[in-house]
Amino acid sequence: MNQRAVAIQKLMANLGYEFSNRDLLERALTHSSVSDGSFSGPGDNERLEFLGDRVLGLLVADMLVRDFPEADEGKLSARLHSLVDKSACARVGEALGIGPALRLSAGETKTGGRRKAGVIADAVEAILAAVYRDGGLDAARGVFERAWAKELASPPEPAIVNPKSALQEWAQGQGRPLPTYTIKERSGSDHAPTFKVEVVVQGYEPALATGHSRQEAEKAAAVALMKREGVI
């Protein structure tokens, strides 16, 4: 058994789920850099990632409404974002051991694809969709509750309704010009893009973050810079 096959076995053990259709798992682990046509239909995980993002959002929203009956919409939205964003998905993927199980092109492997947070986060969402397609919503919920257990146990971070406005106010309070945001990378397909955005506040190191939209990535970058500088 090769190293990747061993990694996949460990991954399934960590997921606590046995696939009836192993092709779904294989597709979920196949990065878009691979295009050898070995599967019928789309061979990479982008379509599954698109579905998995929605499955994850539904599972988190359902759990929050059930477990926090007194929380208002603002608090629910802030907690949902903290559990579904790319950073949380990447942490979940690293804990599951997704990196060694990924199917990447040689070029993507050489550039460290197995350690890239965005690649791992996308695969997490794709795997959740694969479980949903293979076993239904209850199966996906079981994987979610196991895989996100550490994230769910962590205390929620202080909610910031508008991170970009908060960063702007802080920058002005420091006597700095307004923050600037630059798209550094756009990957994925048109229906499931991933944006990497850099935010710069004059006099401070830039901060990078990713998101499914430019706005989401900009907000995440603002949060990342404020966390690093001890603002929040």
Q: Which residue stretches of the chain are H helix?
A: 3-15, 22-28, 46-67, 73-84, 86-96, 106-110, 117-135, 137-147, 149-153, 163-173, 214-228
| Cα dihedral across residues 40, 108, 18, 56: positive or negative | negative
Residues 16, 11: Cα–Cα separation, whole Å: 9
> Please, what's the largest Cα pairwise distance for the chain?
60
CA 119 vs CA 1, 5, 22, 77, 180: distances in Å? 25, 19, 20, 25, 26
108 and 120 Cβ atoms separated by less than 8 Å: no
First to last CA, the chain: 47
Does the annotation count 125 as an active-site position?
Answer: yes
d(CA 160, CA 225): 13
Q: How many CA atoms lie within 13 A of 143 on its CB side?
A: 31
Helix or strand holding residue 16 (H, E): none
Q: How many CA atoms, within 13 angstroms, populate the side-chain half-sphere of residue 45? A: 29
Q: Which position among 85, 108, 125, 218 bears the catalytic label? A: 125
The one catalytic residue in 44, 53, 108, 218 is 53
Residues that are catalytic: 53, 125
